[in-house]
Amino acid sequence: MGGRQRQELPGGRLTQLLEAWPARVTWAQVREEDPTVFRQAALGGLLVCGAILVTLLWCLLTFDWPTLLELPGLLEWMRPLLMVVSLFGAILLWLFGVILLSLPSDTKRALAFKGYAERVGLTFSRFGFASPVLGVFFAEKLPGLRDPARVRPPMSAEPPASLFRTTYVLWAGRDGLHPRLQFGIAAHQGDKSSPKGPRHAFRYLSMRLPRALPHLIIDARGNGSLRSLLPGSQRLQLEGDFDRHFTAYVPAGYERDALELLTPDVMACLIDHGRSWDIEVIDDTLQLASTKLRKRSDRGESAAMLLFAELVGAELGHQAATYSDPRAKTPRVQVAAQGRRLRRRSTVWTTAAFIVGIGVMLGYPFVLGWLLDR
């Protein structure tokens, strides 16, 4: 395909995908979809009114604002308890009130996604299936330094519990548990001790590739940076405009393999259509992460992600189908252990530098005083 034809076709296809988004979703459609949603929103409005009153009470008890509040003797003795109760009560009322108030808008957003899925031949799930614990984006925890290249467990093994909750998911495949393509919004729901990815919430795309490939991360420079997670020694130097927009990381020794996969056509497609996204190729999956989460981005991001899946899926899928890893026992099927996972940057030195910095800040006045007294 010539350069001129390649540029014209994606533009026309992108216009088609944008036009497939429903022009309007009415509140009547929302009521038909969920007759109770407006009653729940009305209850949310009452809770917000109560939250305003309880917040005002907390301000009176805590700051004597907007006026001085004098309580009877027993209640004055209980003022600290009333302050705590009113604070937590206000927080709960605000939380549940805002959630209930947002339900009509959330249902309207879901109907837009549902209509779009029907027009582009995908299946819609309001609350998606659990995303796999795979790769940097979805907080996969790697073993220690003695086994830096994680080997995937057998198919019969129980997979780790997902740390992310997905919503507004569009997918294609035989079933929702193992779709060949899916995209939606993911939010971390683990506790403080759970592994974490570079972002708490992000819009994602995940698609299957013909075979497993070496671990590859393409970090978009206009979408934040992942260099705090990945050692610079794994950075892949590429020529041309690609390095202006992206930073690529690949396991040591797999630079030539990455160049086989990142052909000029693939890099041109990424520059034209994916320069605001972080991309990860891990095992037989391509994952994409975007920071554009708001409702106003749904139409543009959904169309761009579908176009990206079609273009890069075709380009990278062709390269994957012919890829061979001579280091592996079965080169045409497997990837050698050292190429399966990128090394993560150690947090030991970062933690040590932080502790030293705190120590210097706390000890500086004493050291300065000792020097001045000599």
DSSP assignment string, 178-237: S-SEEEEEEEE---TTS---S-SEEEEEEEEEEEEEEEEEEEETBTB--TTTS-GGGEEP
Give yes or no for a contact between 210 and 284, defined as CB atoms under 8 angstroms apart: yes
pLDDT of residue 238: 83
Helices 3-19 and 298-321: crossing angle in degrees, nearest 10, is 140
pLDDT of residue 183: 93
Tokens 């160049």 belong to which residue?
259
Positions in the chain short of pLDDT 50: 1-9, 145-150, 155-156
- Degrees to nearest 5, angle at CA 235 with 229 and 236: 150
User: Taken in order 144, 145, 146, 150, is the CA torsion positive or negative?
Assistant: positive
Tens digits of residue pLDDT in 218-251: 998 877 778 778 887 898 988 778 888 899 999 9
pLDDT of residue 155: 46
Chain CA centroid to CA 64, Å: 43
pLDDT of residue 231: 80
Cα–Cα distance, 131 to 178 (Å, whole number): 10
**φ and ψ at 207, to 5 degrees?**
-140, 150
Single out the residue of 116, 264, 245 nearest to residue 183, CA to CA: 116
Threshold 0.95, pTM exceeds: no
Single out the residue of 106, 127, 124, 121 nearest to residue 30, CA to CA: 106
Single out the residue of 202, 216, 184 nearest to residue 285, CA to CA: 216
Give yes or no for a contact between 350 and 227, defined as CB atoms under 8 angstroms apart: no
Cα–Cα distance, 22 to 4 (Å, whole number): 31
Single out the residue of 96, 98, 95, 58 nearest to residue 80, CA to CA: 58
Give yes or no for a contact between 233 and 225, defined as CB atoms under 8 angstroms apart: no
pLDDT of residue 29: 96
Tokens 């004055």 belong to which residue?
76
Q: How many CB atoms lie within 10 A of CB 113?
A: 23
Tokens 């548990």 belong to which residue?
177
Cα–Cα distance, 252 to 236 (Å, whole number): 9
Q: How many helices (H) and strands (E) does the chain have?
A: 11, 7
Single out the residue of 138, 282, 248, 246 nearest to residue 199, CA to CA: 138
Cα–Cα distance, 213 to 216 (Å, whole number): 8
Tokens 């997979």 belong to which residue?
159
pLDDT of residue 354: 57
Q: How many CB atoms lie within 10 A of CB 238?
A: 18
Tens digits of residue pLDDT in 36-65: 999 999 999 999 999 999 999 999 999 988
| Type of residue numbered 95 | L
Give the count of alpha carbons within 13 A of 265, CB side only: 17
Domain ranges of the chain: 24-120, 123-149+161-349
Cα–Cα distance, 5 to 184 (Å, whole number): 31
Q: Where are the alpha helices (DSSP H) in 274-347?
A: 298-321, 337-340
pLDDT of residue 72: 82
